[in-house]
Amino acid sequence: MAQTVRRNTKGVRRQARAQGTSRKVHKARSTGKSLVGQLLGMLPFNEDQLHKAFTVLILAGVAALVVFLSEISGATAVLSDRFAHVTANAGFKLVHVEPRGVKRMNEMAIYEKAFSQKNLAMTRVDVNGLRDDLLTMPWVKDARVSRQLPNVLVIDIIERDPHAVLKRADRLMLIDPTGVELETVSAEKAEEMLLIEGAGAQGQVEALSRLLDAAPALRQSVSGAAWVGNRRWDLTFLTGQRLALPEGEDRAAAALISFARADGVHRLIGGKIVAFDLRNPPRMYMREPGRAERQEMNMGKDG
């Protein structure tokens, strides 16, 4: 009896497809390796250096994890205390304070604040906190605190400039150009400086400086300024004569310039007139002792 031989065509086809797929996978892998190799070749370091870089990154990650776990467990504080103790025993502790830039303020006030950290390990000195503390002192405009190993703390001070004297009800205060109070002064020392008075005058110190700058020829002749009614200035000259100015910064500056021009022509400062009133420019009213009536001068543009 003849036997019929059946070919497993389905298996052959499956095998062919599998082989084709294998070739494609092999080709894709080869292409991928080729692309990776090309990319690595474009980098500015070789494969060995790349391997070392990855090793460093792994170690850094492990170190960060250790620090994180240490902070959670409180080990960081213990290690910090131990390190501070060791450095202090090695001579790295605060012993000396060196203030710099101090000209007018009391230097002892700086020592008192700085030496509150005396004998601390230099690693424990809070330079930022000390700087913030120094900035609360009236004379200190700015400050910088730095460590100078092994045991010196250097403090650089920028002082405020004394500008005028503010008259209060019970004392005289030295102030800077912005109105910040620096310290009390005697009446004798106050005589040498511009005296400012009046309710709210402290907040108008910078505006007063701009006003006087408008007529620089008169600035050295002004000995005092009174802020009247929280709206305008009365100026007093070294001769004791008084000048009343109008309200408004621009109007007051214009009136002062006009007065300076008139003084240049008529020599008003140092004359017989004891008071000048420019509250209604361009007319100026003048008061002379012994006269009931007031004199009047037209302060127009033509002088």
Residue-wise pLDDT for 158-213, tens only, equals 999 999 999 999 999 999 999 999 999 999 999 989 999 999 999 999 999 999 99
Domain boundary among 159, 186, 215: 159
Residues 181 and 231 in one domain: yes
Based on the domain organization, do 173 and 283 belong to the same domain?
yes
Contacts of 52 by beta carbon, 8 Å cutoff, 6+ apart: none
- Within a domain: 129: yes
- Identify whether 16 is part of a domain: no
Place of tokens 């703390």: 153
Q: Between the CA of residue 208 and those of 1, 65, 146, 250, what are the distances in Å? A: 132, 61, 38, 12
Q: Which residues constitute the domain of residue 228?
A: 164-298
Q: Does 286 reside within a domain? A: yes
User: Is 117 in the same domain as 174?
Assistant: no
Q: Are both 155 and 174 inside the same structural domain? A: no
CATH code, domain with 101 = 3.10.20.310
Indicate the SS3 state at residue 181. Answer: strand
- Statement to judge: residues 146 and 259 lie in one domain: no
Instruction: Write out the H or E segment, with its range, that includes residue 237.
Output: strand 232-237
Which residue in 110, 117, 115 sits closest to 138, CA to CA?
110
192 in the same domain as 147: no
Q: Is residue 3 part of a domain?
A: no
Nearest to 134 by CA among 117, 151, 111: 111
Check: CB of residue 197 under 8 Å from CB of residue 167. Answer: yes
- The string of pLDDT tens digits covering residues 244-299 is 999 999 999 999 999 999 999 999 999 999 999 999 988 999 998 876 555 666 66
The Cα–Cα gap between 122 and 113 comes to 16
DSSP H/E element including 163: none
Beta bridge pairs of residue 181: 175
Could you tell me the pTM of the whole model? 0.65
